Structure 1
Amino acid sequence: MARLVLLLNCGSSSIKYQVSDADTEEVVAKGLVQKVGDVGVGTLDHEVGDQEFHIDQHFANHTEALNTVLGMFREHGPDLDSVIAVGHRTVHGGRTFQKTTLINDEVVAKLKELFGLAPLHNPAGVAGIEAAVAALPDVPHVAIFDTSFFSTLPAEAYSYAVDTELADQYGIRKYGFHGTSHDYVSATAGEFLGTTRDELKIIVLHLGNGASASAIDHGQPVETSMGMTPLQGLVMGTRTGDIDPGLAAFLHRKLGWEVDEIDTWLNKKSGMLGLTGKTDMREVKALIDAGDEKAKAGVEVYVHRLLSYIGSYTAVLGGLDALVFTAGVGENADWIRALVVERLAPFGVKLDADANAVRSKDPRAITTEDSSVKVLVVPTNEELKMAREVVALIENS
C-alpha cells in the first residue's frame, strides 16, 4: 500500500492542497478551494490523475471548506486511509519556530500568539490545522514554516535600526518569507551546476504575485528582501515593496487614513496593480505592446528594484556565481529576465537569447558559456520540499 502525504496551504480565503507518494514523490492528487469565507459562491477544483472535478459552493469558513475537500477524497480518491502524515504550510514562525515542527496543542497555542506578526496568513493557517486535526486525528500533523530557512540570518542582516530593547520585547526584526522555495531552488541550482550550493555564492529571485530575493553564501542565507512582514522588498503584484516608512504617517495626516486603510492600500492596492492597473505580467506585457506608457514605466520601476537588490546582494556576498530566477514570473516571463540580465552586461553577464526563450519545466541556463555569472531558471517545487520535510521529521521522531 502506498504511503501518502497530504499537504495543506491555507490562505486567508483559500486552501491549496496536494497528496504525494512518500516513497516515489509522485503527485497523486491536488486541488484548490477559493473564496473561503466570502459572501458569494466559492469554488473547489479537485484533480486525481487525469480526472478533474469541480464544485461551486458557499464555504463559510476553513473547517467547512476542508470537510468538503475530504468529501471529494472519499468520492473520487485517493483513499486518505493511506495518509501517514499531514504537512501544513505555515507562513510565520516568528522567533519561536525555526525548523519544521510536529504539531500539538502547545504548538497551536504558540502559533496563535504570533497572529499579530501575520494577521492575514497565520489565523487562516491555524484554522486549517485545527480543521485537519479534527478530521484526521490519528496521523501526525507537521508545520513547515516559510520563515525557517532565514532563521539563521546574521544579526547585521535581520536587525532594524530601532531601539534594541523594544525590538527584542516585540520581536521586531527581519524574518524573511518564501523560505521553502529559496531553500529548494538554491539547492537545485547547485546540483544543476555540478556541485552543491555549499560551494557557491547565489542570488535567488522568487518572482510571482509575491516576490522576494535572497543572498545565499555557501549554503547559508545572509540576506533576504522580505522583512518582519511580506510587505518589504521587491515590487509585487499588489504590494509596494520598499517605501519610505514616513509614507504611513503622511497618509494619515494628509488623508485621515487609519492604520487598517493604510495597510490595505500598501498590501492590496499597490505594486504592479498601482503602477499599471494589472497584476498579471502577461497583461502588463500586452499593454506595453499596445503602446501603454504607464505600463512601460511600471515595469521600469519593477526592473530597477530587482537590479538594486542584485547589486547590493552581490556586494554583501563578495561576488556572485549564480543568479537564479524562479516562481511564476521568474520561470515564464522571458522578457522580464531579458530586461534584467541585459542590464548586467557591463559586468560580463551575457544572455543567451535563444536559451532564454525556451519554455521548460526543467532547470536551465540562459547565459552563454563565457558569461561571468551563470544565470539560471529553476522551477520551484515548494510542495516537494514540504513533503520531504514531513517525511524526514516523522521518520526521525
Structure 2
Amino acid sequence: MKIVILNSGSSSIKYQLINMPSNDVLCSGMIDRIGLETSNLTYVTDTTKIEENMPIANHKIGLEKIAQLLLDETVGVIKSTAEIDAVGHRVVHGGSAFSNTVIITAAVKDKIRQLFELAPLHNPANLEGIIVAEAIFSGAKQVAVFDTAFHQTIPVVAHKYAIPNYLLTENKIRLYGFHGTSHKYVSENAMQYLKQNVNNEGSNIITIHLGNGCSMTAIKEGKSIDHTLGFGPMNGLIMGTRSGDVDQSVIFYLVNTLGYSLEAVNTMLQKQSGMLGLTGYSDLRDIEANAENGNADCQLALAMNAYRIKKYIGSYTAVLNGLDAIIFTAGIGENSSYIRKLVCTDMEYFGIRLDESKNEIRSKAIREINTEDSKTKILVIPTNEEIEIANQVFELLTT
C-alpha cells in the first residue's frame, strides 16, 4: 500500500511517500519558511536529492510543487496518481469530536473548519492540504490523524480548567494538547532505547518538541499525563510567532485600556509575538546568527525561551514524581545545540548534566548527549511524524 503523508505545519510542509507495511520511504522532503521572501524545498529519493530556494507564498502552491515532483518524468517516483492508495494528513485540532484516526468525509472537513479558531495557524493549512490532495489524488482514501489524540489520557485533574463546570460539560472547554503524533513517536522510541541500552523502562519521560510551534509533554508509563499546550496551540512555551503563557490580565488591559480590538489582540498573540515579537525574526536560525553577532534582543529572547522550558521541566518532574529522561525533538530540538545547552545548564538538581562535546554532534540517529554520571538521560530523537501517521493510516484501512 502506497501512502502519501502530508504534514502541513504553520510555516512548513513535510511529506513522504511510504510503502506499507514495510515502512519503505520512497521519497521524502520538506518545504519550510512558507510565506517568507525565500522558501526552501527539498526532495529526496534513493537516487535523487533536489534542494531549491524559491518564493512559496502559501501551502497550496507548496503542495502543488510537491505533486509535480512526485510525478516528474525524470525524478518522480510514481507514473500516475492512481498508484496512491491513501493520503494521511496531520490535523492539529480534533476538539472533542475526534479521539481516533478517521477517514475524511465532508462532515469531517466541516468539523475541522469549525475548529479554525482554536488552531488558526494550523487547521486552515491542514484543511488546505486535504482539499488539494483530494483533487490531485482523487482515487485515494483521505485519512486524518489528529495531534490531540495522544493526549486523551491526560487526567481530569490536569485537563480541566478552574472555570465554571458547564463550560467543560456543555462547551467542551478543556486542555486538549497538541503535537501528539510527535510526542507519541519519540516517547515510544525513547522507552525502547532506555530498555535496550540503560536497562531502564523509562517510565518518567519529558518530551520537548521545539519547532516553529513548541510543546512539552509529561509521559508516565507511555501515557501523556500533562502537556504545555491547552485548548488551542497557543500557550505554554515561547514559539516562533506565538506568545506562549501570558497573564490573562494583559488581554483585558490591551482591550479596555489601550483600545485594541479582540481580533487585533488575537492576531498579536498568534502571529506577532513569541520570538518574532521579541527579535523581529521568527526563524531560530536567524535569531541565533544575530545573537552570535551581538544582537542583545536575540540573546535575551533565546535566554527567555530556554528559561520557560526549564520551568516546565521542573513542574513536570514534580508531576511525574521522578525523571528518567528528557527528549529533544523537532527542527529546533534536533538541530540547535545552543538551545539545548541553555536548557540543560544549571540543572544538576534534576540529575541533568550535559556533555558539551556530544551536544555538538549532528546525527539522524537517537543519541545521548548527557555525561556518563548524569542521573537523567538527555536524548536527541529525530521525530518522524510521517511514519507514525503512516502506521495509523495503514492500521485503520486494513483492520
Same fold at TM > 0.5 = yes
- State the match for 1:26 in structure 2: 24
Conserved? CA contact 1:43–1:54, under 8 Å: yes
What does residue 178 of structure 2 align with?
Answer: 177
Distance 1:216 1:15, change over 3 A: closer
What displacement does 1:371 show? Answer: 1.3
Aligned pairs for 1:117-128 (under 5 A) are: 117-128=118-129
| Residue number in structure 1 paired with 2:312 | 309
Match for 2:388 among 381, 385, 388? 385
Counterpart of 2:358 in structure 1 is 355
CA distance in 1, matches of 2:280, 2:120: 26
* 2:152 paired with 1:151: yes
* SS across alignment from 2:144: strand
For 2:320 and 2:148, locate their aligned partners in 1 and report how far apart those are by CA, in whole Å.
21
Higher mean displacement: 291-300 or 214-223: 291-300
Root mean square deviation of aligned Cα: 2.9
1:79-136, CA deviations, whole angstroms, 9 ceiling, x for partnerless residues? 2332221101111110111111122333333333333322333233233323323443
Worse-superposed segment, 27-36 or 171-180: 27-36
TM-score by length of 1: 0.88
Q: Is the 2:7–2:386 contact (alpha carbons within 8 Å) kept by the matching residues of 1?
A: no
**Structure 1 counterpart of 2:70:** 73
Ranges in structure 1 where 5+ consecutive residues have no aligned partner: none
How far 1:23 moved relative to its partner? 3.7
When residues 376 and 60 of structure 1 are mapped into structure 2, their CA distance, relative to the original with a 3 A threshold, is closer
Aligned length: 392
In the alignment, the residues of structure 2 paired with residue 317 and residue 57 of structure 1 have an alpha-carbon distance, to the nearest angstrom, of: 45
Q: CA deviation at 1:283?
A: 3.0
Q: Distance in 1 between matches of 2:271 and 2:254?
A: 16
> Are 1:320 and 2:323 an aligned pair?
yes
Moved more, 366-375 or 122-131: 122-131
Q: Secondary structure at the match of 2:354?
A: coil
Identical residues among aligned pairs (%): 41
How far did 1:65 drift?
6.3
Equivalent in the alignment of 2:377: 374
CA contact (8 A) 1:189 1:197 kept: no
Distance 2:289 2:43 in 1: 31
Could you tell me which residue of structure 2 aligns to residue 130 of structure 1?
A: 131
Runs of 5+ unmatched residues, structure 2: none
8 Å CA contact retained: 2:92, 2:147: yes
Give, in angstroms, the shift of residue 13 of structure 1: 7.3
CA–CA distance in structure 2, aligned partners of residues 57 and 330 of structure 1: 26
Alpha-carbon distance in structure 1 between the residues aligned to 2:77 and 2:202: 41
Counterpart AA for 2:382: P
Alignment CA distance shift 1:116-1:277 (3 Å): closer
1:225 is matched by which residue type in structure 2? T
Pair 1:186–1:15, CA change in 2 (3 A): closer
Structure-1 separation of matches of 2:166 and 2:110:
25
Bigger Cα displacement from structure 2, 129-138 vs 202-211: 129-138
Q: Tell me the TM-score normalized by structure 2.
A: 0.88
Q: Structure 1 residues 166, 87: closer, same or farther in 2, change over 3 A? A: same
Note the 1:63-102 alignment, pairs <5 A: 66=63, 69-76=66-73, 77-79=76-78, 80-102=81-103
- Counterpart check, 1:264 vs 2:261: no
Residue 282 of structure 2: which of 266, 272, 279 is its match? Answer: 279
